[in-house]
Structure 1
Amino acid sequence: MSDWFRESLYDHWSQSFLISRELYRSQGGMQDIALFETPGFGRVLTLDGIIQVTTGDEFIYHEMLAHVPIYAHGAVRSVCVVGGGDGGMLREVLKHRSVEHAVLVEIDAAVVEFCRSHMPTVSAGAFDDPRCEIVIADGLKFMAETDRKFDLIVIDSTDPIGPGGVLFTEAFYKDCARRLTAEGIVVNQNGVPFLQGEEITDTWRRRRPHFADVGFYVAAVPTYVGGFMALGWASHSTRPRTEGLDQIHARFVAAPVATRYYTPDLHRAAFALPRYIQELIPG
């Protein structure tokens, strides 16, 4: 009988992965870490029994959280990634030569070192880029105490349960708002609305008092089961989210990056929300 990994994020639905080979397991430190290979998704990293990243489909999530705000903004130079210890978000952000400095704030140093060693294709050298700074700290505390300003803040966190919950609070969003430049943007993973609809509603309500523009866009990531994954958006300016396709396309042509999912057309289309997601947004 083959070994299977079962992820039971929901009490009424689970997904399973056939394990070709278990590569690592550790139940010490801040989080339980496991890494295994699968026939269909490549290497799979789990924290506390929940899928975090697979080498098979991680490019979708990372590209959409990085390139959509960067091309929408048009002049991102400073970036802060909260979470993202696998390095995939840094990899995509640093593809843009306009980015002068990127700070990775990760609470668990073991995750960074583990991913450097066991999943090097995800970061693809981003940790060693001279523009990268790694800060091992609680993202909530960092954002409350830093005096830096960022053009883009990417919250690459786990779901709002356990340690990741503090990164979905109004207090954290308020601190993010203070750390943004005039046309700065905050993006984050916001769950799968078909199964986690309250995350959309709660995020909108908690962000609305602190930003001029609050919205969502979507991506289809196979690992995150349940339909579209929602990506949260907030900015002090209404301009970036409403940039037209011609402008986005022109920026992409002028400063192209290699992608497997993102395109300028998809960029614009991602903000067209299905009705069931629209109905989760108050008002």
Structure 2
Amino acid sequence: MMQYLETLHGPYGQYFAVERELYRDKTEYQDLVIFENQTFGKVLALDGAVQTTTADNHAYHEMLLHPPLLAHGQAKRVLIIGGGDGGSLREAVKHPIERAVMVEIDPAVIELSQRYLPELSDGAFSNPKAEVVIADGCRYVAETEERFDVIVVDSTDPIGPGAVLFTSDFYRDCKRCLTPGGVLVTQHGVPRLQPDELTDGYRKLTALFADATFYLTVVPTYTGGAMTLGWASDEPALRRVPLETLEERFAPLDGKTRYYNPSVHQAAFALPPEVQRLLRRS
């Protein structure tokens, strides 16, 4: 049986037994492979790094979208940078928003995800709230005149085409695109294996926003322990919304999530000492 070896972390990695390879080729931007695994279902990998699976993607996509949207409480316009598999778009359109704009640089990711991994988007691409823009996300936030209540950066790791989505200039342009009191959420990898990614991100975000921190989620295929998601806003109160308020806002979504609930939301912002030390190092 074939094996897929993830090479993201150099001296440490993981392998997947490939039950069936569904697609393998190089797009204009990156190497892309989709295969089936007995434990994790369908797996999408880019440039040697697992991006998402049908079995555990909810722990990532739900935690990217629901904390900022439910904390904000009145978001109408959402911007997703990246996320071509459609998982983040799927979670966004569950909310009573007006528009969810997804900006993806690689149209092949969208096309192939819809063909081989339709479970991830679950019809979100055809939702009337959804709008897909094929463009460089970095350039989009630098040039657009639109403003958004929540911006979510559903990016790859800072390698290849995703590297520009971890720069100060990009974060500054994201802030420009936020409405007053808006929230920016980013992904910053696994602290155990990518500590510099966390400290560098914290330094850049705190230089731009009045309130910047991280929260945690656990995605088994993002190997190495809990992963960190960045939270940045000029409205500190959004990080301290009472549980009762979150529960009230969550009620229409109850039964539609597999990982997220309001209690998990609040607990996710409790960072272990080793992560806190990484922030102080920045």
Q: Which runs of 5 or more residues in structure 2 are unaligned? A: none
- 1:1-283 mapped onto 2 (5 Å cutoff): 2-96=1-95, 98-253=96-251, 256=254, 258-282=256-280
Letter in 2 for 1:44: V
Letter in 2 for 1:113: E
Q: Distance in 1 between matches of 2:217 and 2:46?
A: 22
Q: Secondary structure at the match of 2:212?
A: strand
Give the Å deviation of 1:255: 5.6
Q: Which runs of 5 or more residues in structure 1 are unaligned? A: none
Give the Å deviation of 1:209: 2.2
CA RMSD in angstroms, aligned pairs only: 1.2
Letter in 1 for 2:206: R
**TM-score with structure 2 setting the length:** 0.97
Q: Distance in 2 between matches of 1:250 and 1:242?
A: 15
Assess if the C-alpha contact under 8 Å between 2:30 and 2:160 holds in 1.
no
Letter in 2 for 1:100: E
Q: Percent identity?
A: 51
**TM-score with structure 1 setting the length:** 0.97
Q: Secondary structure at the match of 1:239?
A: helix
Deviating more after overlay: 244-253 vs 104-113? 244-253
Letter in 2 for 1:78: R
Q: Distance in 2 between matches of 1:220 and 1:247?
A: 24
Give the Å deviation of 1:282: 2.8
Q: Distance in 2 between matches of 1:257 and 1:175?
A: 36
Q: Distance in 2 between matches of 1:213 and 1:28?
A: 38
Letter in 1 for 2:121: S
Q: Secondary structure at the match of 2:191?
A: coil
Cα deviation per residue 1:62-121 (whole Å; 9 max; x = unaligned)? Answer: 00001011111111110000000000000001011x211010000011111111111101
Q: Secondary structure at the match of 1:279?
A: helix
The alpha-carbon distance between structure 1 residues 29 and 241, as it changes in their structure 2 partners (threshold 3 A), is same
Q: Distance in 2 between matches of 1:191 and 1:28?
A: 24
